[in-house]
Amino acid sequence: MKKSSSILINKKDITAIALGGFDGMHLAHQKLFKHLGEKGAIVSIESEYANLTPKTYRQEYSSYPIYYYLLENIKNLSGQEFISLIKEEFPNLKKIVVGFDFCFGKNRKNCINELKELFKGEVVVVDEVKTHGIAIHSRVIRDYIKDGNIKMANSLLGREYKIFGTQVKGQGLGSKSFVPTINLNIEDFILPTEGVYATKTIINEEEYDSVTFLGHRVTTDGSFAVETHILGKEIINKFSLVQIKFYDKIRENKKFDSFEALKKQIEVDINKTKEFFSKAV
Ligand SMILES: Cc1cc2nc3c(=O)[nH]c(=O)nc-3n(C[C@H](O)[C@H](O)[C@H](O)COP(=O)(O)O)c2cc1C
Ligand SMILES: Nc1ncnc2c1ncn2[C@@H]1O[C@H](COP(=O)(O)OP(=O)(O)OP(=O)(O)O)[C@@H](O)[C@H]1O
């Protein structure tokens, strides 16, 4: 994971910034970053619902340094005060890049016209970016993920949706009755709807094809779990950080009448996932 480079760069050297929330770091956000040039930076106004790319993980998706400001701390500033703050923070700022719908200042009263009036430098406004006729926004991607429509979410993100988790103890049933799995505790990230997914799991920078179950274990103890089975490899070590990249949904979560029936279904899931990855480029 890339660490934030913002601490290594003097704000005085920054001449261009992109302004907004940037939870998605999706294709439209990437289009804004293309206008930043050599001495650019991303200014992320943080709200509490950033759960696609939580703050700690955002730097991975851009080589530009990211500076964070809490919405809570600036939401009562007038438009003029906000622009003054930005100018103070970045004294050599020449260019601001925003999207067509960027608004700022108390009650989001100020938008593009006011930005052009208040900031005396260059203002680049990017028209609404769409893909397959669908406007790309973090909220749209969140809805696709919640629906389990990973393919659409990924196509708007421009990459596979990825979550980070830490390993936790499971019921201890996996290896004995079903298949070995790594059980995960996930915080901060929005999770796809319950079901079985074709995934890749990254452990210690190694990437493995995997199948991931996410949901209430209605067949066994009923508790909620995120567990991943690495295809064709038994991994027994403990890890501090595990990454899961989602590719497609295989099926819904289901209650089975017996452990044997669930075991058979898991074999089918594994074969379907293998087939998915053998076809994927
Ligand atoms: C590919 C896969 C699919 C699964 N599907 C279901 C399911 O549809 N319903 C369910 O109750 N549990 C499902 N599980 C979860 C199993 O119940 C779980 O692996 C088992 O309870 C062992 O848990 P443990 O790793 O905590 O010991 C699935 C697990 C895997 C790996
Ligand atoms: N589809 C888009 N096309 C062009 N600009 C965009 C688009 N989406 C966001 N932007 C711009 O990117 C910056 C960051 O915005 P923001 O974080 O609100 O993105 P968003 O994806 O629309 O998020 P949300 O759905 O949570 O409102 C803003 O300057 C915004 O105008």
CATH of the domain at 185: 2.40.30.30
Residues 166 and 121 in one domain: no
Average pLDDT along the chain, 281 residues, taken 10 residues at a time: 62 97 97 97 91 94 96 94 97 98 94 96 98 96 98 98 92 73 95 98 94 96 95 77 97 96 96 94 57
Ligand 2 centroid vs 20 CA: distance in angstroms? 7
> What pLDDT, on the 0 to 100 scale, is given for residue 40?
97
pLDDT of residue 49: 81
Judge if the beta carbon of residue 161 lies within 6 A of ligand 2: no
pTM of the model: 0.94
Residues 190 and 274 in one domain: yes
Ligand 2: does its nearest atom lie under 6 Å from the Cβ of 174? no
Q: Is residue 253 in some structural domain?
A: yes
Ligand 2: does its nearest atom lie under 6 Å from the Cβ of 141?
no
What confidence tens digit (pLDDT) does each residue in 179-232 have? 899 999 999 999 999 999 999 999 988 999 999 999 999 999 899 999 999 998
Q: Two tokens at 16?
A: 């261009």
Residue 57 has a pLDDT of 94
Q: Say how many domains are in the chain.
A: 2
Q: What pLDDT sits at residue 1?
A: 47
* CB of 95 closer than 6 angstroms to any ligand 1 atom: no
CB atoms within 10 A of CB 120: 11
- Is there a single domain that holds both residue 240 and residue 188? yes
171: in domain: yes
Task: Determine, yes or no, domain membership for 57.
Answer: yes
Residue 89 lies in a domain: yes
**Which atom of ligand 1 is least distant from the CA of 217?**
11
For 167, the domain range is 160-279
At CB < 8 A and 24+ separation, what contacts does 79-82 make? Answer: 79/104, 79/105, 79/106, 79/109, 79/110, 79/114, 79/118, 80/105, 80/118, 81/105, 82/110
| pLDDT value, residue 154 | 98
Residues 233 and 180 reside in one and the same domain: yes
For a mutational test of ligand 2's pocket, the pick from 29, 31, 67, 190, i.e. the residue with the most ligand atoms closer than 8 A to its C-beta, is 29
101 lines ligand 2 (CB under 6 A): yes
User: Are both 172 and 243 inside the same structural domain?
Assistant: yes
Ligand 2: which atom is nearest the Cα of residue 99? 31
**Protein residue whose Cα sits closest to atom 10 of ligand 2:** 99
CA 99 to ligand 2 center in whole angstroms? 6
Q: Are 104 and 172 part of one and the same domain?
A: no
149 inside domain: no
Quick one: 122 and 171 in the same domain?
A: no
Both 76 and 17 in a single domain? yes
* 134 found inside a domain: no
